[in-house]
Amino acid sequence: MDLSSVSEELAEIDGQISEILRSLSNGFQKLQKIKDANRQSRQLEELTEKMRECKRLIKEFDREVKDVESRNRPDVNRMLNEKKQSMIKELNSYVALKKQYASSLENKQRADLYEGPGEENVLLASSMTNQELMDHGNRMMDETDQAIERSKQIVEQTIGVGTETAAALKAQTEQMSRIVNELDSINFSIKKASKLVKEIGCN
């Protein structure tokens, strides 16, 4: 049945809902192929946003159905309600999928908080409360901050040593230059003296 014959508004909302449901179907197919936990998480956020939008549109569809109910035939109203139920059912199937993926992802991220593989770590992470996980995460961030601070200090010390070395090299280069000039001067004086000695010898 062509919904535009019942209501242009209904037809437009139905088109938007169909588009989002198609997008959700493709999105979850894509999610199955993603292995990286961070990318999975981002994809799941996008799909959740689409589901919220779909829920909002279904409510709009329901309001519009109620608005036009009084002027429709009973069979048309039945068809519109069935359509709405079908939309809700499809959306709920994606909500269930989302919960499944979110739970799996949460367990994976809890396990990733611990270094090293092994079933022991996974079991330990799973048995922790959210508060304990947050505390552990904060400790890890503090340790990372301290490591970064230590690295910065080492870099600053290295730059300081480099600056001192460069200054010392410059001073040595200048000293060498002076020595070379003095040697040239001495050499010139020796040659001059030799010449004088030869001239004296000739006389």
Give the CATH number of the domain where residue 96 resides: 1.20.58.70
Q: Is 26 exposed, middle or buried (0-12, 13-18, 19+ CB in 10 A)?
A: exposed
C-alpha triplet 14, 16, 19: angle, nearest 5°: 110
Q: What is the pTM of this model?
A: 0.51
End position of a domain, from candidates 128, 158, 183: 128
Close Cβ partners of 94 (under 8 Å, ≥ 6 residues apart): 21, 24, 25, 28, 47, 51
Res 157 pLDDT > 80: no
In three-state secondary structure terms, 147 is: helix
Residue range of the domain that includes 28? 3-128
pLDDT recorded at residue 40: 87
Distance CA 18, CA 25 (A): 11
Asked if pLDDT for residue 120 goes beyond 50, the answer is: no
Say yes or no to pLDDT of 135 above 60: yes
Instruction: Please indicate, yes or no, whether residues 159 and 82 belong to a single structural domain of this protein.
Output: no
Cα three-residue angle 156-157-163, rounded to 5 degrees: 90
Does residue 9 lie within any of the structural domains?
A: yes
Q: Does one domain contain both 60 and 29?
A: yes
Q: Are residues 21 and 59 in the same domain?
A: yes
pLDDT digits (tens, 9 = 90+) for 56-102: 999 999 999 998 888 888 888 899 999 999 999 999 999 999 998 88
Instruction: Give per-residue pLDDT as tens, 21-30.
Output: 999 999 999 9
Residue 198 located in a structural domain: yes
Please tell me whether residues 151 and 124 are part of one structural domain.
Answer: no
How much is the pLDDT for 20? 94
Residue 60 lies in a domain: yes
